[in-house]
Amino acid sequence: MKKVLSVLLAGALAMSTLAGCGSTQSSTPSSGGSAQSTGGDNAEKTTLVLWTRDRADASFIQPWIDKYNETNKDGIFIDYQMYTDNFEQALDMAYSTNSGPDLVGVSGMTDIFTKYVNQGQYVEIDQYLTDEQRARYKSLVSNGIDAIDGKLYYIPVFGSTGRLFYNEGIFEKCGIKEPPKTMAELTQTAKIITDKLKGEGVYGFAMNLKSPSSALQRSIDFIVQRSGGSKQGYDFGKGAYDFSMYEEAVKEFRTIFTTGIAFPGCESLDIDPLRTQFAAGKIGMYISWSHADPGVYASQFPTNEKWNVAQLPTIDGKVYSQSIQPYKGYMITKTCKAPEKAWKACNDLFYSDDFVKAYHEAGLGSVMVDDLKSQVQAPEILKGKENGLLGATDKFWPATPQELNSQAVIVEGNDQYTDLAGMILGTGDIKAGLTALTDRYNAALKKGIQEGKGKELKIANWDPANPNG
Amino acid sequence: MKKIRAKRDLKESLQIYGMLAPNLFLFLLLSVYPIIWTFRFMFYSYGGLGTGAPVFIGFENFKRLFTNDPVFWRSVTNTFIYAAGKIGLVIPLAFFSALMLNQKTLKGAGFLRATLFLPTIMSSAVMALVFYLMFNVYNGEVNKYIMKLGLSELPINWLGQDYAMLTVIIIGIWGGLGNYMIYFLAGLQGISEETYESANLDGVNWWQRIWYITLPMLGPILKMILMLSIVIAFQDMSTVMVLTEGGPVNATMIMFLYAYQFFFPIAPGSMIVTQFGYGAAVSVVAAGIVGIVTVIYLVLARKLDDLY
Read off the pLDDT of residues B41-77 as tens digits, 9 standing for 90 and up.
999 998 887 777 899 999 999 999 999 899 999 999 9
Does A92 score more than 80 pLDDT? yes
Mean pLDDT taken over chain B: 88
Class of the CATH domain delimited by A162-323+399-469:
alpha beta
% of residues, chain A, pLDDT over 70: 90
Predicted pLDDT of residue A284 = 97
The CA distance from B23 to B36, in Å, is 18
- CA distances for B63 relative to A110, A183, A412, angstroms: 33, 42, 12
Predicted pLDDT of residue A34 = 47
The answer, for A231 touching chain B at a CB cutoff of 8 Å, is no
- Chain B residues with CB under 8 Å of A275 CB are none
Q: Provide the 3-class DSSP secondary structure of residue A162.
A: strand
Contact B35 A18 (CB under 8 A): yes
Does A24 score more than 50 pLDDT? no
For the stretch B11-49, pLDDT in tens is 888 999 899 999 999 999 998 999 999 999 999 998 887
- If pLDDT is split at 50, 70 and 90, which confidence band does A58 have? confident
Indicate the residue of A18, A89, A453 with minimum beta-carbon distance to B287: A18
Contact B249 A268 (CB under 8 A): no
Contact A268 B164 (CB under 8 A): yes
Indicate the residue of B159, B270, B288 with minimum beta-carbon distance to A213: B270
CB B260 within 8 A of CB B27: no
Q: Among A141-150, A257-266, A366-375, B68-77, name the one with the lowest average pLDDT.
A: A141-150
Contact B160 A268 (CB under 8 A): yes
As a whole number, mean pLDDT of residues A7-19 equals 48
- DSSP per position, A35-93: -EEE-GGGTTEEEEEEEE---TTHHHHHHHHHHHHHH-SS-EEEEEEE-BTBHHHHHHH
Contact A273 B294 (CB under 8 A): no
Q: Which residues in chain A (106-125) have CB-CB distances under 8 A to chain B?
A: 109, 115-116, 119, 121
Interface test with A, best of B42, B271, B298 (most A CBs within 10 A): B271
The 8-class DSSP code of residue A176 comes to: -
Predicted pLDDT of residue A37 = 47
- DSSP per position, B75-110: HHHHHHHHHHHHHHHHHHHHHHHHHHHT-TT-TTHH
Residue A86: which of B245, B265, B47 has the closest Cα? B265
Contact B49 A417 (CB under 8 A): no
The CA distance from A198 to A32, in Å, is 53
Indicate the residue of A13, A212, A267 with minimum beta-carbon distance to B159: A267
- If pLDDT is split at 50, 70 and 90, which confidence band does B285 have? very high
The CA distance from B276 to B118, in Å, is 37
Residue of A nearest to B283 (CA): A18
- Residues A452, A454, A458, A462, Cα dihedral to 10°: 170
SS (H, E, C) A346-373: HHHHHCCHHHHHHHHHCCCCEECCHHHH
Q: How far is B210 from chain A (nearest CA, A)?
A: 29
A397: Cβ contacts below 8 Å, ≥ 6 apart: A225, A231, A321, A323, A324, A467, A468
Contact B298 A6 (CB under 8 A): yes
- Chain A residues with CB under 8 Å of B70 CB are 413
- CA distances for A132 relative to A126, A208, B35, angstroms: 12, 44, 56
> For chain A, how are helix, strand and coil distributed in percent, rounded to 5?
45, 15, 40
Predicted pLDDT of residue B89 = 95
Q: How far is A456 from chain B (nearest CA, A)?
A: 19
The residues of chain A that CATH labels 3.40.190.10 are 36-160+324-390, 162-323+399-469
Contact A92 B70 (CB under 8 A): no
- If pLDDT is split at 50, 70 and 90, which confidence band does B239 have? confident
Is A39 or A378 the better-scoring residue by pLDDT? A378
Q: How far is A383 from chain B (nearest CA, A)?
A: 30
For the stretch A322-368, pLDDT in tens is 999 888 889 999 999 999 999 999 999 999 999 999 999 988 888 99
- Chain A residues with CB under 8 Å of B234 CB are 17
Predicted pLDDT of residue A246 = 97
CB B142 within 8 A of CB B134: yes
- If pLDDT is split at 50, 70 and 90, which confidence band does A145 have? confident
Is B278 or B105 the better-scoring residue by pLDDT? B278
ipTM: 0.81
Contact A119 B47 (CB under 8 A): no
Contact A22 B245 (CB under 8 A): no
C-alpha of B187 from chain center? 21
The CA distance from A165 to A387, in Å, is 10
Predicted pLDDT of residue A40 = 46
- If pLDDT is split at 50, 70 and 90, which confidence band does A109 have? low
As a whole number, mean pLDDT of residues B196-211 equals 87
Pick from A76-85, A431-440, B168-177 the range whose average pLDDT is largest: A431-440
For the stretch A166-215, pLDDT in tens is 999 999 999 999 999 999 999 999 999 999 999 999 999 999 999 899 89
- If pLDDT is split at 50, 70 and 90, which confidence band does B269 have? low
As a whole number, mean pLDDT of residues A62-90 equals 89
Q: How far is B164 from chain A (nearest CA, A)?
A: 9
Q: Which domains does chain B have, with CATH numbers?
A: 76-253 (1.10.3720.10)
- Chain B residues with CB under 8 Å of A96 CB are 49-50
Residue type, A444: A
CA torsion sign for A104, A408, A415, B276 is positive
Contact A13 B71 (CB under 8 A): no
Pick from A371-380, A433-442, B234-243 the range whose average pLDDT is largest: A433-442
Class of the CATH domain delimited by A36-160+324-390:
alpha beta
Contact B269 A214 (CB under 8 A): yes
Q: Which residues pair with A235 in a beta bridge?
A: A240
The answer, for A197 touching chain B at a CB cutoff of 8 Å, is no
Does A28 score more than 60 pLDDT? no
The CA distance from A305 to A282, in Å, is 10
Does A80 score more than 90 pLDDT? yes
Q: Number of Cβ pairs closer than 8 Å across A and B?
A: 186
Predicted pLDDT of residue B41 = 92
